[in-house]
Structure 1
Amino acid sequence: MELAERRRALGYSQEELAELLGVDRTTVGRWERGKVVPQPLQRRALAATLEVSLHELGILLTPPRVAGQETTGHKFSAPPSTGEPNDMIRREFLRVLTVSGALTALPVEEADALAEGVRRGMPADFARMNSHLWQVYRLARSKGSVYPVIRDQLTTLNDALADSHGDARPLLSAAADLFQLAGEVAFDGNRYTDAAASYSLAASVSKDAEAYDLWACALVRHAYVDMSEQRYHQAAQMLGAAERLAGRGDSDLSTRHWVASVQAEAYAGLGDLDACERAMDRAENVRDLPVDSVRGGWLRFDGARLAEERGSRYVRLGRLDLAENALKDALEQTALAYGQSYRRRGAVLTDLAAIGAKRRNAEQVVAYGREAIDLARSSGSGYVARRLRALCDEFGPLSRDHRVAELGAEIATLNTPRREG
């Protein structure tokens, strides 16, 4: 069956998939042979783990002799490579998803226990703790250092969900918030499969919570995974869905402006300058919102990064003079913002080095590139290291310059997590 092909494409053995779902290996084998079908709650968890929709899972579970021609032409893009999944956090995610799915099916009259929890401030406490974790993540030099705290918070949230009944939307929103933060940690560490799974779960739980802004932000983050693999058409489609969701959300929040900003990046990847600039102009309107329009956690877009984002997109589009002016402004801002943002500053420096490479200016490449390497080493950021490795592809004839060659050798030795598909 196609279910087995999808499992193998993501790098799972039957034993590994069974462990993630909390079932026996023989159960997975029976699913794949078409002997039995997963139960409703198992289907949701299975779809999330395989990174497909419930509709797509139904196609995967359909034996070829029944599906006939209906299954032809239905393709799933498999990641080019896989890394070891973080089993513990995946299991916690799937526990929350299973529990939350059961909670949303309960009738309203069984809401007494959760209502008492709300009166005690439990959901609000989770929201405040999540907000604090986002702050810690933002300030941390090494993003991965936040992971153990996220795991502990997720375990505590699991216990609260398991003890609650009825309208679980406040706790579901807290769970979706936490999934997005875990996805950010995975993405920074180049664990793309884990990041995509986290964002998919965040979107699913946000939908159950009817939290449209939170849902839209999960799709935006998922689009970044696509763009990291240069799948710009897929990212643009994902962002179109996010734009529609943001339109149903809170107009006082900056969600729709963040969507527009990331749409500009997708358009730049597609080489569409006009669409990119229109999207950036929409993003600039964030400055007209009230000061409290930014939540500071899962929604952090306040326009402070627009200069570096515009510069990065101009680099991709080949508008080097426009890019350099914007990036130099951004470099001054990142030196002041939040004390020192290693990840942001490293990305700006790498873009400025890329401009030097396109201009065949070895001095500019080396000056900005070395500073970016220092930041990558100080922070352990896989994101900055990934950007630097992409910079090497721009060297071209400059690779014959011994200074540039030495820079490339240093980039190759950066000790960062292995990239995952």
Structure 2
Amino acid sequence: MRQLRARERRRSGAEEGAVMGLAGRRKTLGYSQEELAELLGVDRTTVGRWESGRIKPQPLQRRSLAAALQVSLTELDALLAPPPATDREAAEPQTSDHSGAGDPDEMIRREFLRILTVSGVLTGLPLDEAEALAEGVRRGAPADFARMNSHLWQVYRLARSKSALHLVVRDQLATLNDALAARTPGSSGPLLNAAADLFQLAGEVSFDANRYTDAASAYSLAASVSKDARAYDLWACALVRHAYVDMSERRYQEAAQVLTAAERVAERGDGALATRYWVASVRAEAHAGLGDLGACERALAQAEKVQDLTAGCANGGWLRFDGDRLGEERGARYVQLGRLDLAEATLKRALEQTALASGHSYRRRGAVLTDLAAIGARRSDPEQLVFYGREALGLARASASGYVARRLQALCEKFGPLGKDQRVAELGTDISMLNTP
């Protein structure tokens, strides 16, 4: 019924929408922000940002948005252009459909508080202890910065939407910067460690949001600060994360060079930590990208030695590698190398493990599902491709994970002739509409 009503009003609505902008066109067609967001497969806040002019739709989203609003791409550009403000508008505060409730910064803060409440990461502390921790951070106490960073990493791990931490991490960095400025030279070692830790978390938040330049900058700062503090394990982990930026853009040779440097740094670190074995695990991915099965297998064998370490080899923050994901990592490497016979059985075992793992990870399970879908594409099996691809798509939507969305978009490049299958084509269309920041 709504679509019929929209068609009947299209001609007059186009003229009115051109004057009122994107929000006006949406209202003319009878959509709320939530309804339009659901139709496009994006978050309501994304629609709000489009309408406020804070961000522009991505190229893959523009065509779907134009179709939903029943306008051409040229007309859509006109709707997206900010209208000139009248004298009255310039003098009065601007309002929106939700009177401030849709402000992105405020929504991020509320989401962060919700995560804290649900996870119990900070709210589990006694009130006096939580207040003491906050006061210690304000005073610049290194131990309290380290504890707060640890809490933030836990929230990051539990959060479906990693962007919820952006403002909190930014504020923590600003506070830490003030604390460093107040310190005398030579007395800031523990604070430098806390800064290197926090820069890595900032990079992770940016990487998950597809902001590669921001992520690379944060990882570079983390490596530089770690080097100054002679914190070799922190330094090596920052280099590993920087290598992921290169691999996300398929610069495997550059990644391998960074990982060689990370390996040398990790050898100077704490042998009781898992750092050097994480380096080996990521080196396996770079070797697989370069098509070197032998080097990949050797790196995986080295990574598996992490199982000889005692408990506590990972801290759950900037170092989280403990070997529990090596099965899915091995399966993913076999997919990269085209060894589908080895990959499928390995990945199916890994899929069962992710379902049983504590702290169930949407990102982790989504990656395994995408790899199984990729096997279907390589075997020209549309049923397998669509079955696993649809499951991964559901997780990407539920978690708003940029990582899973990127993996799915890379999957579309493997469709080949299967792209002519209606089910596969529909999957590709739905993936193209994913909300990746």
TM-score where L is the length of structure 1: 0.70
CA shift digits 1:254-312 (9 cap, x unpaired): 00000000000000000000000000000000000010111110000000110111111
Partner in structure 1 of residue 123 of structure 2:
none
Between the aligned partners of 1:282 and 1:383, the Cα distance in structure 2 is 26
Partner in structure 1 of residue 221 of structure 2:
201
Partner in structure 1 of residue 315 of structure 2:
295
1:246 pairs with 2:258: no
Between the aligned partners of 2:187 and 2:433, the Cα distance in structure 1 is 51
| 1:332, distance to aligned residue in structure 2 (A) | 1.1
Query: Gaps spanning 5+ residues in structure 2: where?
Result: 1-104, 106-135
Partner in structure 2 of residue 157 of structure 1:
176
Partner in structure 2 of residue 396 of structure 1:
416
Partner in structure 1 of residue 156 of structure 2:
137
| 1:156, distance to aligned residue in structure 2 (A) | 1.6
What amino acid does structure 2 have at the position aligned with 1:127? A
What amino acid does structure 1 have at the position aligned with 2:158? L
| 1:387, distance to aligned residue in structure 2 (A) | 0.5
Partner in structure 2 of residue 413 of structure 1:
433
Partner in structure 2 of residue 311 of structure 1:
331
1:148 pairs with 2:167: yes
| 1:338, distance to aligned residue in structure 2 (A) | 3.1
Between the aligned partners of 1:277 and 1:271, the Cα distance in structure 2 is 11
What amino acid does structure 1 have at the position aligned with 2:391? E
Report matched runs for 1:70-219 at 5 Å: 122-165=141-184, 166-219=186-239
CA shift digits 1:213-261 (9 cap, x unpaired): 0000000000000001111111000000000000000000000000000
1:383 pairs with 2:403: yes
1:271–1:317 Cα contact (<8 Å) kept: yes
What amino acid does structure 1 have at the position aligned with 2:341? D
User: What root-mean-square deviation, in Å, do the aligned CA atoms of Structure 1 and Structure 2 show?
Assistant: 1.5
Partner in structure 2 of residue 237 of structure 1:
257
| Structure 1 ranges of 4+ moved more than 4 A | none
3-state SS of paired residue (1:301):
coil
2:380–2:418 Cα contact (<8 Å) kept: yes
Between the aligned partners of 1:294 and 1:383, the Cα distance in structure 2 is 22
Between the aligned partners of 1:283 and 1:123, the Cα distance in structure 2 is 32
Q: Which structure has more RCO (C-alpha within 8 Å, separation ≥ 6)? A: 1
| 1:336, distance to aligned residue in structure 2 (A) | 2.2
Report matched runs for 1:347-358 at 5 Å: 347-358=367-378
1:263 pairs with 2:303: no
What amino acid does structure 2 have at the position aligned with 1:408? G
CA shift digits 1:34-65 (9 cap, x unpaired): xxxxxxxxxxxxxxxxxxxxxxxxxxxxxxxx
1:139–1:338 Cα contact (<8 Å) kept: no
Between the aligned partners of 2:199 and 2:214, the Cα distance in structure 1 is 11
| 1:149, distance to aligned residue in structure 2 (A) | 1.4
Aligned length: 301
Between the aligned partners of 2:225 and 2:155, the Cα distance in structure 1 is 24
Between the aligned partners of 1:127 and 1:334, the Cα distance in structure 2 is 29
| 1:167, distance to aligned residue in structure 2 (A) | 2.4
TM-score where L is the length of structure 2: 0.67
2:140–2:176 Cα contact (<8 Å) kept: no
CA shift digits 1:320-366 (9 cap, x unpaired): 12111111111111112234200111111000000000001101011
| 1:202, distance to aligned residue in structure 2 (A) | 0.3
Between the aligned partners of 1:311 and 1:181, the Cα distance in structure 2 is 27
Between the aligned partners of 1:305 and 1:164, the Cα distance in structure 2 is 41
What amino acid does structure 1 have at the position aligned with 2:203? G
